[in-house]
A and B are shown apart, each in its own frame.
Chain A
Amino acid sequence: MSDPMRIRAQLTGDKVDVRVLMAHEMETGLRKDAAGKIVPAHFIQNVIATCNGKTVLSAQWGPSVSKNPTLSFRFSGAKVGDKVIVTWVDNKGDKRTDEALITAAA
């Protein structure tokens, strides 16, 4: 399994600011290795973020999202101490789920 995501969720006013940094190669399937062989595509296809059982963002990605993808978005309807849970699934069926507690903005 790949490395954990870094997730930051901060409550500012009534909105939660979420930033996610994922660890993934995001191989396009177009690149060749030193031996001239094509490196097979390996990329995150689906991302879903939930909070209190409700989906707050979902995404479909192609291979042209950068290596070690970042994502930021903002949602309302949560409070400090609630959990934001992020899951990704890649084209090989690997998946990873991480979570972060919502903190108050400094």
Chain B
Amino acid sequence: MNRRDVLKTSGGTMVMALAASAGLFRTGEAFAQEWNKSAFEVKNLNDVVKAMGGSTATESKDISFVNAPDIAENGAVVPVGATSKIPKTESISILVEKNPNALSASFTIPDGTEPTITTRVKMGQTSNVYALVKADGKFFYAVKEVKVTLGGCGG
């Protein structure tokens, strides 16, 4: 209850004022410009790596999936998480090979944040899911097949 009260009472204006004073809107806009359009438009792992400025990615056992299912009953909501034990992990991206565009989400991990993220993605059909990690300028990945019994792209 406490958290909800805070959200309610803090109201729109106060949040706006705080965010503005923290310079948040400026960073928000800067990040909007940084949306890597080309990475979100390509179809496979290698092209995503190239769009992110790398050349190739090597498979790594230091990346593991967290709570990604073997079989997803509903492709519209597939929980996927990834964790990286590779030193100097800079970013973690989630890719679904057989979706219309492979890249689903890309997370930048600053110092002080654990290289572990979880989110939920849509999957059109049974596919390989990749966790792509950029660490110290190099790219690594882990792969896992997730079977989908009901597609999540309007099918």
Q: Return A34 CB to nearest CB of chain B, in Å.
A: 12
Q: Report if B24 contacts A (CB, 8 A).
A: yes
B27 CB to closest chain A CB (Å) equals: 6
User: A76–B31 Cα gap in the complex (Å)?
Assistant: 23
The reply to whether B105 and A75 form a contact with Cβ atoms under 8 Å apart is no
Residue-by-residue, is B47-82 near A (CB-CB < 8 Å gives 1, otherwise 0)?
A: 000000000000000000000000000001110010
Instruction: For the complex, count residues of A whose C-beta is within 8 A of B.
Output: 50
How near does chain B come to A36, taking the closest CB pair, in angstroms? 12
Task: Report the bound CA distance from A45 to B108 in whole Å.
Answer: 13
Known pairs A32-B154, A46-B28, A46-B31; A60 contacts B22 (CB<8 A)? no
Q: What's the minimum C-beta distance from A43 to chain B, rounded to whole angstroms?
A: 10
A-chain residues with CB within 8 Å of residue B109 when the two chains form the complex: 57
Which chain A positions have C-beta within 8 A of B123?
64
Quote the shortest CB–CB distance from B124 to chain A (angstroms).
Answer: 9
B76-A67 in contact (CB<8A): yes
B37 to chain A, nearest CB (A): 9
Q: Which of B16, B27, B114 contacts A55 (CB 8 A)?
A: B27
Q: Let me know if A57 and B113 touch, CB within 8 A.
A: yes
B39 CB to nearest A CB, Å: 8
Q: Is the CB of B3 within 8 A of A66?
A: no
Beta-carbon nearest neighbor of A29 in chain B: B100
Report the minimum CB–CB distance from B155 to chain A (whole Å): 9
In the assembled complex, the CB of A27 is this many whole angstroms from the nearest CB of chain B, namely 10
**Given A4-B7, A46-B31, residue A75 in contact with residue B78 (CB < 8 A):** no
List residues of chain A with CB within 8 A of the CB of B114. 15, 73-76
Smallest CB-CB separation from A93: which chain B residue? B32
**B76/A100 in contact, CB under 8 A:** no
- Assuming the contacts A31-B154, A62-B104, A66-B77, asked whether A97 and B112 have C-beta atoms less than 8 A apart, the reply is no
Would you give 12 A-B contacts (Cβ < 8 Å), ordered by A? Answer: A31-B153, A31-B154, A45-B32, A46-B28, A55-B110, A61-B105, A64-B105, A66-B76, A66-B77, A66-B122, A93-B32, A99-B18
Binding site for B on A (CB under 8 A): 1, 4, 6-8, 15, 26, 28, 30-32, 45-46, 48, 50, 53-67, 69-77, 85, 87, 89, 93, 95, 97-101, 103
Known contacts A48-B24, A71-B118; 11 further A-B pairs (Cβ under 8 A)? A28-B122, A28-B154, A31-B154, A54-B110, A57-B113, A60-B35, A66-B152, A85-B22, A93-B32, A98-B7, A100-B6
